[in-house]
Structure 1
Amino acid sequence: MLLWATGLQADEDDLVLIANPSVETHQLNRDTARAMFAMRQRTWPDGQAARVFVLPNDDQSHERFVKQFLNVYPHQLQMAWDRVVFSGTGQAPTQVDTEAQMLEQVASTPGGIGYIEKKHLDDRVNVIPLD
């Protein structure tokens, strides 16, 4: 578990980046993942349209994912979403309320990408490691 007050961090291995089985990309670099979640890159590296799913900004898993995997703060990611929405150049990602909904949406949406705690993982999605 992440302990903000003491500065201790949870093991990054308790969260995983997940994708719909239709996605042919088997690894992402951190910059590409950040661009996809910031809604600046709308396709997977193989050209397939990406559908991004996120948990609410105040969700602990969301906070940990954004900081540990994307190396940004949740408010920075929110500002990026606001910028594309207000400029009319794109949409914000689809927000789901729980990790169970995240798993269901990514599993059932071609091109879907999201994140969950490893304990919720099942064989309906693929894990995408970051290099």
Structure 2
Amino acid sequence: MVKRIRLGKTRALAALALALAAAGAARAELVVIVSARNPLPALSGDQVAAIFLGQSGRFPDGAEVVALDQRLGSNERNQFYSQVTGKTPALLKAHWSKMVFTGRGQPPRELSDNAAVRRLVAENPAMIGYIDRSALDASVRPVLVLR
């Protein structure tokens, strides 16, 4: 009977370890990116939040900015908004419902994945997006790293 209890505890500990590892793996290191042709050196978290919440339509140097989102429900999108704005998906939906209803803005264009965001941002210096750090290449440049 003692062996069964120990085996049960061992299995429970192994399951807990796997669950914790999976939770850690789901949290990616995200980077906010602009085109490699954009001269912007960096942005603060507050500046990024203002852009992605429709409160600012310009980079700090005055150039127009167009924000691009990951697909609704993706881990990257949920993590990004949680870290940068402190908003849950439900609060974000409420924010954009109010912005659209009052005519003050439209939500960022939604793209399917990291590669799609990187490709569009690379093509246009006015665009900004966020991707998993592992998806970076020379066509884009990080202006904010989220940990």
Report the TM-score when normalising by structure 2.
Answer: 0.74
Matched length: 128
Cα distance change on mapping 1:13 and 1:26 into 2, 3 Å: farther
Q: Which residue of 2 aligns with 1:90?
A: 105
One-letter amino acid matched to 1:121: L
One-letter amino acid matched to 2:91: Q
Is 1:104 the counterpart of 2:119 in the alignment?
Answer: yes
Q: Which residue of 2 aligns with 1:41?
A: 56
User: How far is 1:58 from its partner?
Assistant: 0.5
Q: Which residue of 2 aligns with 1:65?
A: 80
**CA deviations over 1:56-81 (Å, ceiling 9, x no partner):** 23101111111123332233223222
Mapped partners of 2:52, 2:115: distance in 1? 19
**CA deviations over 1:3-35 (Å, ceiling 9, x no partner):** x999x6569772111112343322212211111
Q: Which residue of 1 aligns with 2:134?
A: 119
Q: Which residue of 2 aligns with 1:26?
A: 41
* Structure showing greater Rg: 2
Mapped partners of 1:68, 1:9: distance in 2? 15
One-letter amino acid matched to 1:117: D
User: How far is 1:114 from its partner?
Assistant: 0.6
Q: Among all aligned residue pairs of Structure 1 and Structure 2, give the percentage whose two residues are the same amino acid.
A: 26
**CA deviations over 1:22-56 (Å, ceiling 9, x no partner):** 43322212211111110111101111111100012
Q: Greater share of helix residues, 1 or 2?
A: 2
Q: Which stretches in structure 1 are left out of the alignment for 5+ residues? A: none
CA RMSD, 1 decimal: 2.7
Mapped partners of 1:32, 1:115: distance in 2? 14
Q: Which stretches in structure 2 are left out of the alignment for 5+ residues? A: 1-18
Report the TM-score when normalising by structure 1.
Answer: 0.82
